[in-house]
Amino acid sequence: MASGWLQGLVFLAYPLIVYAAVRWLDPRGVGLVLLALYTGMLLYRARARLGELAALLRQHVGIALLILAGVWTQDRRVLQLLPVLVNLYLLASFGSSLVAGPPMIERFARLIEGDLPAFTHPYCRKVTALWCLFFAANAALIGYLAFFASLEWWTLYTGLLFYLVLAGLQAIEFVVRKLWFRYYPGGFADRVFARYFPPERTANGRRSLAYQAARAH
C-alpha cells in the first residue's frame, strides 16, 4: 500500500520536479535526478514485492527508457513526454478492454456492484470509449505543449489543469449516470437526485428499482 502511494506521489509531483530541475540543472542533470528518483521508487516497491520484481520491471521499462533517452539527447522535451506515455498506456488498457471485454468501466462497476445488470453494459461500453478519446486527446495535447509551448504552460497543464479537467469529467459522468439509470442506493446525493428525478418515471429507473428489490432479497 505504501509503495503504491509513493508511486502516486511521484507521478503527481513529476511536472513540478521537471520544472524545478530544468530551472537549476541542464537537461542531462534533470534526467539523472528523475532516474534516481524513479530507481529509488522501484527499489522500494521491489522490497515490498520481491517475488514480482521481473513483472514490475517490465511494467516500468518504457518510463525508464524515456528518461534515459532524455539523458542521452539532453533534450528536456523528451522528459516532458512521460505524461504522454502514461496516457497512451491508459488508452491501450481501456481500448483493449473494448476488444477483449469486459470494458474497463464495467470492470470498475463490478468491483462495487458485483453482479452488474445487463441493461447497464452498453452504457459502460460507451463510457469506456469516451475515456479512450480523452486519453488520446490528452496525450496529443501534452505532446504539443512539450514541443511547441513554454515549460510554464506544460507545467501548468500537467500539474494542475489536467486534474481539474479530469475531476470535471468525472463529475459530469456521475450526473449523467444518475440521470440515465436513476439508481439511488443511498447517500446524500442519491436522496437529492431521488427527490427531483424519481426513478419510476423512466424505463431505466424502473429497471434500477427492480434491481434494487432483487438485491434486497
> Helix or strand or coil: residue 2?
helix
How confident is the model at residue 78, as a pLDDT? 81
Q: pLDDT value at position 75?
A: 75
pTM across the whole model: 0.82
Confidence at residue 59, expressed as pLDDT on a 0 to 100 scale: 60
109 in Cβ contact with 102 (< 8 Å): no
pLDDT at 1: 45
Helix (H, G, I), strand (E, B) or coil at 25: coil
> What pLDDT does 205 receive?
95
Which one, of 101, 112, 18, 34, lies nearest residue 68 by Cα?
34
Instruction: Tell me the domain boundaries of the chain.
Output: 1-79, 80-181
DSSP annotation string for 103-155: -HHHHHHHHHHSS--GGGHHHHHHHHHHHHHHHHHHHHHHHHHHHHS-HHHHH
Give the DSSP H or E segment for 71: helix 53-73
- Kindly compute the dihedral angle of the four CA atoms of residues 87, 92, 93, 98, in this order, to the nearest 10 degrees: 130
Q: pLDDT 10s per residue in the chain (217 long)?
A: 444 554 556 567 778 777 776 777 666 666 666 667 666 666 666 665 555 555 655 666 666 677 777 777 777 788 788 889 889 989 999 999 999 989 999 999 999 887 889 999 999 999 999 999 999 999 999 999 999 999 999 999 999 999 999 999 999 999 999 999 999 988 899 999 999 999 999 999 999 999 988 887 7
CA diameter of the chain: 65
